[in-house]
Structure 1
Amino acid sequence: MEEYIEKILSERGYLYKTEAKVEGLKNKSSLRIDAVILKDEKSISKDILNDNEISCSIELDGQFHFKETSFGNDLKGQLERDGIKNEFSIERKIPLLRVHYEDGLKYDKLEKIVVDFIENVNSKNIDNVITYSECYPEDMRILASYEEIKEDII
């Protein structure tokens, strides 16, 4: 999925950074966001971004976000880190797209999900701070109303 995301963002001409560190986003150590869409090209070269430099962010949630795998992942720790990223996005008013791994298997489907999300952010046409792709389980979704903060998004 990561290669697909980079291809989609690059081909569409979005300013973006992958594996981005954002000031204040940490657990025991800094957490990274899979991809962020930047407001300004000056931010591309920065090692650590400020939240006001980010238009929106994308998290690609592989199987290890939902179940124990043969890779020996720590599901509880992963869910904790996901929760920290969700809360960070809500508190900082940064729209976040969470893509379920099944939605990322086909390039065309992933491209539509990502492009629609970014276009909706740019046109201020989204209902929640966190947007989930189609296959995301309902019981794992946190909904944070976007109405109060729509005007704050540039």
Structure 2
Amino acid sequence: MSNFDDKLAQHISGLDKEKQPERDLWRGIELGIASQQSVSAEEQESSSKVTPRQWMAIAASVCLVTVLWLSAPLAFKPDESRSDSYALIDAMSTQQKQQVNSLLASYESTPALTQDWQEQLKELDDAADVIKAALKDDPDNSALIKMLHHVYQQQIALIERVHAPKWQQI
């Protein structure tokens, strides 16, 4: 042990083992317990009485819940929201078809580097159809929407790689 540790141990051993309070604490404890018991008795008496202000708050809460309950069927129409959500997916699919067709038209005169690229494009198209079928049941599923977007990106990347690879662009 170091010199500091020795001195610290000596100082600790020289301290009193018990610390005595400077005054009698029981008087304060007794007063605290007595006042707490009187406050809790007053709270029990006042809690059993409902004030007019509390009645107003209860009535307002009941009215609010009733209005929300009755207006909820008007605000929530599941069939319309599903069709709106799937309409966005249809728009995304239409845009993808237009983009693929324009890419194919622009690369029409460029020879393809591989022969099986159309089969790969068909497989990606089949995967997109499966994802869209799943999205008909759950049009708000963000994971499926991301998967569909990824498949569409793969289709575009496939067409670009087959017709204009990066090593030819240099």
Q: TM-score, normalised by structure 2?
A: 0.23
Q: TM-score, normalised by structure 1?
A: 0.24
Query: Which structure is richer in relative contact order (CA contacts within 8 A, separation 6 or more)?
Result: 2
Rg comparison, structure with higher value: 2
